[in-house]
Structure 1
């Protein structure tokens, strides 16, 4: 893979199973903010398959170059160039969005950043708007697989602020920020797709 187009095999593997779920959630026309776009493989795949949406990629300051070449090459009318977004800064692109999507970010962010992500979305989303959050999660402080347990240990050894998030904590956070959990879908490789709705 060319250095200007980073590639993730995991994204390639999970993009279609995720699309099969989110196409039943993002049904109305509007702008969807993707938080943590990474390589842009999800963004291109979803925007191509969901032409009624405008897909807005975003990533941490200094990280948007990871997806820019792939997005330019795709040349889709409904796929915008990435914008910088530091969820903890309080400075978000635009004033309102019609939905949000984020994959494999909650376990990389510090918990304070996860809190800021929910709070920031709550300020910009109208009642009934969806937020799809994909990744590994634990339930009642118990991991769903040995591989997730090992992955969580690996993350915490890399940096103490990282780690798989527990659903009990996410449900409390959602209640505090004005979201409710609409559905929790089992996904390949011991991941989940959580669909939250703004109250």
Structure 2
């Protein structure tokens, strides 16, 4: 299944504010796994903002060829070969200092969201970070009009998709010994959520 909706212009437009928020968390990382890398817009930008970090891209098997082609077209020689990753299947061994995904949770079904958190927890190093960017809901709080409309459009397209409640994600995180350590407001009613793996 796909874990990326392709709006290249959105990825290009959002990359700077996302990495401005990510940088304090990822500054000392050695290896990051990106889930749902799309056309590698964020991966290429990560090379500029985090030049010492190995940024491992991945994409769902059905969209992996697009990611490979995007990197080949740009003659990108500084990124590892992209992985085909079904979050519900086998994950790379890692360990990774961080797992990052932009706009992935709301286009996965809930089983895949559960698998995303479980897989990240397994592959993260102790004190590693799971960082998710996108639109989210809060339990008992009316969403912003734009997010409400987007959520309705997603569910009309596929009832299994939809914006996820932060509190429900925290519950999944806790199963994998992950604790939310940041919740950053981003442009256009998006957020950057960061969970840290407890050293257990």
Q: Which runs of 5+ in 1 are unaligned?
A: 1-5
| Deviation (angstroms), 1:7 | 6.0
Q: Give, in whole Å, the separation in 2 of the partners of 1:144 and 1:136.
A: 10
| Deviation (angstroms), 1:64 | 1.6
Aligned match of 2:122? 123
Q: Give, in whole Å, the separation in 2 of the partners of 1:88 and 1:141.
A: 29
| Deviation (angstroms), 1:12 | 1.0
Question: Is residue 37 of structure 2 the alignment partner of residue 37 of structure 1?
Answer: yes
SS in 1 for 2:33: strand
SS in 2 for 1:193: strand
| Deviation (angstroms), 1:40 | 1.1
Q: TM-score, normalised by structure 1?
A: 0.91
Deviating runs (4+, > 6 A) in structure 1? Answer: none
More displaced 10-residue stretch of structure 1: 49-58 or 64-73 = 64-73
Q: Which runs of 5+ in 2 are unaligned?
A: 1-5
SS in 1 for 2:131: strand
Once the two structures are superposed, the pairs formed by residues 37-186 of structure 1 within 5 Å of their partners are 37-72=37-72, 73-77=74-78, 79-89=79-89, 91-186=90-185
SS in 2 for 1:88: coil
| Deviation (angstroms), 1:143 | 4.3
Aligned match of 1:194? 193
Q: How many residues align?
A: 192
Q: 1:112 to 1:7 in 2, by over 3 A?
A: closer
Q: TM-score, normalised by structure 2?
A: 0.90
